[in-house]
Amino acid sequence: MRAWIRKSLIILVSVLTFGVVTPSHAFWSQNQELPKSSNSNTTSQSRSSENEVQMPVTFSEKDPEDEIVDALIGKAEQQAMLKFGPKISHVIESEFNEVIMPRIIEAIEMTAAQYPGDELKNLAITEKPGGGVSEKIFNVYHAETGKDLILFHVRREKPPLAGYQFNFHYHTYHDQFQTHYAMGTIYWSKDTPPNWQTV
């Protein structure tokens, strides 16, 4: 439709209805004619895109140090699930993620804060959690020196007149791994739990 006819219709509608009915903004903005080669499908696509609000695309740029810490945390979670094995993780995974994992993240972040800049790249996580009845989940260590920095453990306990439970804790190199830093306990049941990594 020609621009002057469109404008005339808009004015006519507004005058006849005393301004109560006004054509939509989309009708006002259709003053440009499409090239004659465009088909009706293209026309409907261009009209619908005119009504859409275009949001700017933003990319979050992570600090390289944050990426290293995130990778350590991801590896820690992976090693924990490997330690539990399918039989145990099926039962405790939800509570572990809710209660214990945030404490593991906190301990990893605390350790990472002691190694700023290029030193942070040297932090690594062991890849073989202990099986059977071993307490070891994983260690955070300095890859260049091989020195363990923090040890994450889970111990099976059976208090008197209670069922089995898993006690999660960690040790640090600051006191030669003597102190137990508690992260929480997850109840299993009165039945003896299977060995770690049991399929």
pLDDT in tens, 100-109: 999 999 999 9
Same-domain check for residues 136 and 115: yes
CA distance 136 to 199: 18
pTM listed for this prediction: 0.68
Structural domain containing residue 36 = 3-51
Which residue, 11, 26, 51, sits at the end of a domain? Answer: 51
Same-domain check for residues 147 and 98: yes
Select from 55, 52, 12 the least CA-distant residue to 29: 52
Q: Write the single-letter amino acid at 80.
A: A
CA distance 150 to 136: 11
Question: 179 in a domain, yes or no?
Answer: yes
Same-domain check for residues 71 and 161: yes
Question: 56 in a domain, yes or no?
Answer: no
pLDDT tens-digit readout, 60-72: 455 788 899 999 9
Same-domain check for residues 73 and 165: yes
Same-domain check for residues 157 and 113: yes
Question: 109 in a domain, yes or no?
Answer: yes
Beta bridge partners of 148: 141
Question: 193 in a domain, yes or no?
Answer: no
pLDDT of residue 194: 96
Please give the share of the chain, as a percent, with pLDDT higher than 70: 69
Reported as a pLDDT band with limits 50, 70 and 90, residue 116 is confident
Question: 57 in a domain, yes or no?
Answer: no
Q: Domains in the chain: how many in total?
A: 2
Same-domain check for residues 114 and 72: yes
Select from 108, 102, 106, 101 the least CA-distant residue to 80: 101
pLDDT of residue 12: 64
Same-domain check for residues 77 and 33: no
Same-domain check for residues 41 and 72: no
Same-domain check for residues 111 and 19: no
Whether 184 contacts 103, CB under 8 Å: yes
Instruction: Tell me how far the alpha carbon of residue 72 is from its chain's centroid.
Output: 13
Question: 197 in a domain, yes or no?
Answer: no
Residue 83 has a CB neighbour count (10 Å cut-off) of 22
Question: 81 in a domain, yes or no?
Answer: yes
Same-domain check for residues 175 and 104: yes
Question: Between β-strands 165-172 and 123-125, what pairing exists: parallel, antiparallel or unpaired?
Answer: unpaired
CA distance 7 to 30: 10
- Tracing tokens 């939509």 back to the chain, one arrives at 24
Give the long-range contacts of residues 37-45, CB within 8 A, separation 24 or more.
none
Same-domain check for residues 47 and 90: no
Question: 196 in a domain, yes or no?
Answer: no
Beta bridge partners of 95: none
Same-domain check for residues 23 and 93: no
